[in-house]
Each structure stands twice: as C-alpha cells, then as structure tokens.
Structure 1
Amino acid sequence: MPQTLPFTKGHGTGNDFVIIADPDGALDLSDDQVAVLCDRRFGIGGDGILRVVRSAALPAGHQAAASGAEWFMDYRNADGSIAEMCGNGVRVFTRYLVDTGLAALPDAGHLDIGTRAGVKRVTRSADGFEVDLGVWRAEDGDVLVRARGLDVARPGQGIDVGNPHVVVALPTRRELEGLDLTVQPLLDPEPRDGANIEFVVPADPLVRGGVGAITMRVFERGVGETLSCGTGVAAAALAVRLWAGAAAPDAWQVDVPGGTLGVRVRTDDDGEHVLLSGPATLVFTGEVTLA
C-alpha cells in the first residue's frame, strides 16, 4: 500500500540530502526506495538519506553506538547502501533538529549526534556548525589509484575518520579539473568495504597566516562525484598535513566545488581529533508517496 511521507531537503556546501523524520523508528526503507528518493530525475534527488530517529527506538546494537545521544543519524548513500558517517550530513542533521525544535544548541553548548561511527559532538561555529569527527588514523601502505583522466596510476594515502578514504595528491588544478569522475576510480588493492576517493591539489604557498589550503574533488562510494564530502574534506586535509611533516599547521581551508569548509586538528587525551566546520542549509519541505 502506498505510504505518504513528509520530507525536508537540505545540503552542506552542495552535498545534498533527503531528510525524513522517523522519531519512533517505525520506517523501514528498502535500498530501492532510498535509491528512488535520491534519484534526480524520478525522485526528490540527493546524495543520500538522513533518517532522524530517537536512539531509544533503535535496536540494541545501534543504541550502544549512540549511547548518550538522544538522536541517531541513520545515513544511507544514494544507492541505498549503508554508510558509517557523513560529515556534511551531521551538520545538516543538526540544522534540522534545531530548526524544527527537536533539539536545542545554545551558542556556548553542544549537541551529541549518534552515528554508526559513534557519537559526534556538534557546536556552533562562525560559518554554521563544527563537528568533532573523533580520533583519525592513517592507514599503512600505499593504494594505487587509477582514474579516467590520469595518465598513470597514482599512490593514495588511506585515512580513516570513522569511514574509509583514499587521498591522492595531484600537482596542478588543470589535472584536477581534467579528471572524469563520471567513472568510478579503481583502487589496488581494493579495500574490503570500498572507500571514498579524494583528489587534492595543495595551494602555492601551502600555508598562509598559519592556515593550510587545498582544493579537492571527491568520488563517494555508493554515490559518485559529489559537490562536497565532509569526511573527505577532513581526510584530504589530514593527508596533506601528514605529507607536509611536523611543521604543518593544525588549521586548514578546503575548497570543493560546492564551497569552502574548515578543518582543524586538536590533541586530546585519547589522541588527535579532527574537527570539520561549515554551513548547513534547509532548502524546502514537501511530501512524497512511496510505492
């Protein structure tokens, strides 16, 4: 029987999402339904789905992952596949909670959001919201990346920020702009769960006023090229910081096709945390009927 659902469309620097409120956890979207909702010709259109559900309504395993957070972000890629995290998605999710009155975020306070990669703490920032993505990790060993538009395979650095990434450095913007990301790049070896792939060009000079700067394009697993990827932005900045050595700054500005995001690294007792900041916008609301 067809089901009519209210929805909201939102984006963070062009990385766009269909937001569906399901506080009691009653909705079970199939992969095909998610794919139709995200289809830009036959559905609403989006890079993914954000299902807004109370942590108390989750199965026991997810409740443990969201411990201490009232709300859980059930994120699905545009093809219906499940993803661990989405940095832009967390900010858009927070914007939805705050603007609809489901949660409060005082100027000097914080809001905890549950995800499959654990609880992420969100605070307000000058350009919107900043989310603590947690402790990051550099993977050992190079991954060779082949992409249409590259003459030869290039080495990539694996970075884990709650979900997997492979970052490739390119020497010029011309080479970056010449990539054809309508075709999925190939990874060798291929990670078991796949990875998002970022192609970056460092600025010249790399650092100005204590802030590093890079330009990036991204191919997201389960989606394709997107205008922005929050965790990908963080991974790209971390990889360039790693390559630059001990004198590299902890603050970064990352330009993506959809805008500009900020990244900073903070050392806590449990290790280096990476934080992502940027805007989050709600665009429109409506209703959709699901078959």
Structure 2
Amino acid sequence: MTTISFTKGHGTGNDFVIVPDVDGTFPLTERQVAALCDRRFGIGGDGVLRVVRTSHVADADAEADAEWFMDYRNADGSVAEMCGNGIRVFAKYLVETGLATISADQPLRVATRAGTKTLTRTEGGFEVDLGVWRPEADEVLVRARGIDVARPGQGIDVGNPHVVVALSSSDELDDLDLSVHPLLQPEPSAGANVEFVVPDEPLVQDGVGGITMRVFERGVGETLSCGTGVAAAALAVRLWAGPAAPTQWRVAVPGGTLGVRVEQHADGEHVFLSGPATLVFSGEVTLA
C-alpha cells in the first residue's frame, strides 16, 4: 500500500484528481487511476492530472520547451492526448503551489501528448492556445438515445478527436440520454468525444457567436464540461456558418460558460480556449 498526496480541482464542473509526482517516481497504473476517480469508493473525478517534470517522462517530446508535463488519464484509466479544462486546472495548481509562475510577459508552457501548449492569465482564469485545428473530411453518422434518427457528425481534431452533431432545439438537447455511449459509424480508430450542440437564436450577438452544448467523453461518459469539446463545437458551428462567421464564441455547458476564439498564425489557424480553474481541497489517499 502506498500513500500519496492529491488535490481536487475542476474547470466548469469538469473535475480532476491532481497527483504531484514531480520526479516521476510513481507512475500510476490504469487500475489506480480508475480507483482514484471512482465517485463512490475513491475521491471522484472525470480524470487524473499527474504533475511530473518533462525530463522524467520517457515518451515526452524531447524538443518540448516546458518544465512540466501533464500526464492526463481518463476516469477509466485510459491515456488521453489532451484536456482543455484539465490544462487550466493543471496551470492553476502549478501557480498556487509555487512550482511555476505566469505573467503578462512570461506565459506558461506545459507539455502534453498533443504537443506543448501555452497558457496566459485572463480576468476569469486562464487561456490556452490549443494549436492548429483540423476538420475531418469524412462524415460520421451518430446515433444516440433520445434522437429518433441518426445525425451527421463533423469530425474536428484539436489535438484529440471529436465528432460534433447539430440539434434543432434546446428540447432535443435536453431529451438526450447520455448515460448510454453514442454509436459512431464508422467508429474512429481512437474513438472520439461526441458533442451535441444547439446554436443560439440569434447565432451572433455583438460580434460573438453563441451555442449550447452537451458532451459524452470517451473513457468517462457525460461530463459537465469538456474544454477541447467546447473548442471543437464552436469550430464546427463556425465551419457550418461559412466565411462570415465570427472569430469569437461563447459556449454554454451544464457546468458554466467558456470562451473560444481563433487567430491566424504562420502555421495555420490556432484555436484558443478560456475559462476558470478552481482548486477545491487537498489530502492524502492510500492506494493498493
């Protein structure tokens, strides 16, 4: 049995168990991650954020210009590439514990399995540059409990895979039963998070687009929020809206509201995600 310290945190209700392992001496197993995330027998969370120095991670990008690596795991213990809410909570933990600093002239760089991400402070929390996004060309049919017929889904890659489905009304969104995994045809080889969105009416107010979203996360189930899913949903609706669509979006999820914006860079169009990050409590837990 091993006793480790932890901190519980969340970003718009998407909650995580943060485990400091700065020197990489305690790589968590799949079963240990699942035990930590168990809401009845463990601490409870949508995933685990293991805090480790990049130099101690064997599969980290050797060129990563970042001291810290976010080892993110889904609630079932599976490995994930990236987490948009998680990386803001990760940044909050680093800053609050004195492991890193962030300022107007010194952004924070964090290494992930989807590359190194840059974070800056905002009035309401943090903003992360998720990098260049990519729409998938192949259409995916999505079946979900509560929808009478299969709907077309737009694949969006923001460092991890997503499929975004448009619904016609807030009633249709409310009637979804996401206790059951939506079925994707064809099923992406690495799976995908599935976002169901309803555009606001009107879609654009004061130059900012607005949508409401629910999400089913692979390896977790329905969550109150999904940062990369929020970005993917805004990008998909922007794609459907055409060239005149705004570059800034406000996305409502069950756990709150997040901001998305796009910006042209030399290597392509980058997508930025902004929102709050909260640390709730800290303690110790004994693992088998």
TM over 0.5: yes
Query: Which of 110, 115, 119 matches 1:118?
Result: 115
Cross-structure match for 2:164: 167
**Does the aligned pair in 1 maintain the 2:225–2:255 contact within 8 Å?**
yes
Q: Corresponding residue for 1:222?
A: 219
CA–CA distance in 2 between the matches of 1:28 and 1:50?
12
Q: How far did 1:62 drift?
A: 1.2
Cα distance in structure 2, aligned partners of 1:259 and 1:281: 13
Distance 2:105 2:255 in 1: 28
SS state at 2:98 partner? coil
| 1:16 partner amino acid | D
The aligned counterpart of 2:45 is: 46
Residues 239-258 of structure 1 aligned to structure 2 (within 5 Å): 239-258=236-255
Separation in 2 of the partners of 1:249 and 1:199?
Answer: 20
How many angstroms does 1:108 deviate by?
3.9
SS at match of 1:43: coil
Instruction: Provide the residue aligned with 2:287 in structure 1.
Output: 290
* Cα distance per residue 1:267-288 (max 9 Å; x no partner): 0000000000000000000000
* Alignment equivalent of 1:144, drawn from 141, 144, 153: 141
Question: Deviation at 1:63?
Answer: 3.9
Q: Which amino acid aligns with 2:60?
A: H
C-alpha separation between the residues in 1 aligned to 2:27 and 2:159? 24
Q: What TM-score do the two structures reach when normalised by structure 2? A: 0.99
Does the 8 Å CA contact 1:9/1:282 hold for their aligned counterparts? yes
Q: Which amino acid aligns with 1:18?
A: V
Which digits, 9 at most, give the CA deviation of each residue in 1:111-138, with x for residues without a partner?
Answer: 0000000000000112100000000000
**1:139-162 alpha-carbon deviations (Å, 9 max, x no partner):** 002100000000000000000000
Amino acid of the structure 2 residue aligned with 1:151: D
Letter in 1 for 2:287: L
Please name the residue that 2:183 is paired with.
Answer: 186
Q: What are the equivalent positions in structure 2 for 1:55-70 lying under 5 Å apart?
A: 55-59=54-58, 61-64=59-62, 67-70=64-67
Greater than 2 Å deviation, 4+ residue runs = none
SS in 2 for 1:141: coil
**Residues of 2 paired with 1:21 and 1:142: CA distance?**
40
Q: Which amino acid aligns with 2:266?
A: D
Q: What secondary structure is seen at the aligned counterpart in 1 of 2:146?
A: coil
Q: 1:239-273 deviations in whole A, cap 9, x for unaligned?
A: 00000000000000000000000000000000000
Q: What secondary structure does 2:139 align onto? A: strand
Offset, 1:57: 1.0
SS in 2 for 1:62: coil
Question: How does the TM-score come out when normalised to structure 1?
Answer: 0.98
Unmatched segments (≥5 aa) in structure 2: none
Paired amino acid for 1:197: V
Q: Give the CA deviation at 1:107.
A: 3.5
Say what the alpha-carbon RMSD is for the aligned residues. Answer: 0.7
Q: Structure 1 stretch 73-82 or stretch 30-39: which is displaced more?
A: 30-39
Q: Percent identity?
A: 72
The one-letter amino acid paired with 1:41 is: R
Structure 2: how far apart are the matches of 1:44 and 1:89?
16
Contact (CA 8 Å) 1:17, 1:89: kept in 2 or not? yes
CA displacement at 1:30 relative to structure 2: 1.2
Partner of 1:195: 192
Query: Any gaps of 5 or more consecutive residues in structure 1?
Result: none
How far residue 45 of structure 1 moved from its aligned partner, in angstroms, is 0.1
Give the structure 2 partner of residue 281 of structure 1: 278
Note if contact 1:7-1:287 (Cα within 8 Å) is conserved in structure 2.
yes
Contact 1:164 1:196 in 2 (8 A): yes
Distance in 1, matches of 2:104 and 2:169, equals: 40
Distance in 1 separating the partners of 2:61 and 2:207: 41
Within the alignment, does 1:32 sit opposite 2:31 as a pair?
yes
Tell whether the 8 Å contact from 1:56 to 1:63 is kept in structure 2 after alignment.
no
